[in-house]
Amino acid sequence: MPRAREAGAKLWDWPVRLIHWSFVALMPMLWWTAQHDNISLHKRLGLVMLGLVVARLMWGVVGSEPARFARFVKGPRGLMAYLRGREKAAAGHNPLGALSVLALLGLLLAEVVLGLVTQDVDGIESGPLNYLVSFDVAEVARHLHELVFNLLLGLIALHLCAILYYRLFKRDNLLTPMVFGRKALDEGMAAPAMAPAWRALACAVVAAALAWWLGAGAPH
Amino acid sequence: MKFRKIALIAAGCAVVAGGTLAIAATPSDVISARQANFKVMGKAMKGSFDEIKQPAASLEVLKTNANAIAGAAVKVAAGFPQGTGPEAGVKTTALPAIWEKPQEFHADADKLVKAAQAYQLAAASGNLDAAKGALMQVGGTCKGCHEDFRSRDN
């Protein structure tokens, strides 16, 4: 479908897509490295994940319109109005999908923060900020690190089911726009405004610096 | 007099009963005790690693932790009598290999004891780099044994 690639309005800019697909690549790698006790690689990948999550959160404040939380996250009333069909969603995440975005990003953030302080059962391998917490707190973090991972798996499964549901029952292809960035918008939908590249670069620098600082054991 | 005699007999019975209890510690007690012992070492390992991450690591802190590890290390081998494996029905990550290959297991436990004592000596000697190196050796013996004799799931 070459049309879908070129036609339509710009919806997902490259920072959103790059971060999204990096998540997709990192999740199995993080799982694999944890499963095979390659903790040094797991920690480095985890810091990359941390930087990406932070960058995405920043992009949700200063980024392109479809990426902004203020634009797509609605309160309960807005959500009900959308679900009852009284209000149409703007291009991008609808108010229900917004909950999924918040839950996924929230859990990813929780997971990387837990990873910073957690430790293996022997108290030998540990996250860069493990020295700031007690053995018992780190033990709780270890269990939560695993629990949140399982919650993430559940939400990812739900995410994939939703994409399939939209494809099969609503005839709405969500995948191609996330790959190529463009989407044919409904009649009367305004094309969203895109943020300049320098802002993405600024977010990337701040996020990378934070990840590096935390990875170095930070606030000594 | 009579009362005293009864009291003595009662006390004697209590001692015997207590002794019997101590001998017949349930697998669950044994498992709890050895897990607590491993936790002592885990805490002291974390305490050691926390300390060497400090800009000015204190050898006194390392010494305290080294003593804790060495004190617990000597109890490891005896913590796995027959009947305290997965078959005990209590949650344990001890693998049957411990009882299938007792010589290798005891050799590993012995490596830990030696490494812990070397860490103690290094920390007491006042040489920080030597203490760090000895600490890494201890960590290596933990991992080496866990690879063969402990299940990953916990």
Q: What are the boundaries of each domain within chain B?
A: 27-149
Quote the pLDDT of residue B9: 59
Residue matched to tokens 């990948």: A45
Closest chain A residue to B54, measured at CA:
A220
Q: How far apart are CA A174 and CA A192, in angstroms?
A: 17
Give contacts of B65 with chain A, Cβ < 8 Å: none
Q: Is B43 an interface residue toward A (CB < 8 Å)?
A: yes
Side-chain half-sphere exposure of A32, counting CA atoms within 13 A? 7
Quote the pLDDT of residue B19: 46
- What architecture is the B27-149 domain classified under in CATH? Up-down Bundle (1.20)
> What's the whole-number mean pLDDT along residues B143-147?
92
Q: How far is CA A45 from CA A22, A25, A103, B77, B147, in A?
A: 11, 10, 21, 37, 24
Quote the pLDDT of residue A189: 81
Cross-chain Cβ contact A124/B142 below 8 Å = yes
Q: How far apart are CA A33 and CA A39, in angstroms?
A: 7
Residues linked to residue A182 through DSSP beta bridges, in sequence order:
A10
User: Considering chain B, what is the average pLDDT of its residues?
Assistant: 87
Question: By the 8 A CB rule, do A67 and A15 touch?
Answer: yes
Confidence class for position B106, pLDDT limits 50, 70, 90: very high
Confidence class for position B20, pLDDT limits 50, 70, 90: very low
Quote the pLDDT of residue A7: 73
A218–chain B nearest CA distance, Å: 11
Q: Which residues of chain A have pLDDT under 50?
A: 1-2, 4
Dump the DSSP string for B98-134: HHHSHHHHHHHHHHHHHHHHHHHHHHHHT-HHHHHHH
Domains located in chain A, CATH noted: 2-215 (1.20.950)
Q: Is B42 an interface residue toward A (CB < 8 Å)?
A: yes
Cross-chain Cβ contact B46/A126 below 8 Å = yes
What pTM does this model have? 0.84
Cross-chain Cβ contact A131/B53 below 8 Å = yes
- Predicted interface score ipTM higher than 0.85: no
Give contacts of B139 with chain A, Cβ < 8 Å: 122, 124
pLDDT tens digits, residue range B35-51? Answer: 999 999 999 999 999 99
Quote the pLDDT of residue B61: 96
Confidence class for position B12, pLDDT limits 50, 70, 90: low
pLDDT tens digits, residue range A94-111? Answer: 899 999 999 999 999 999
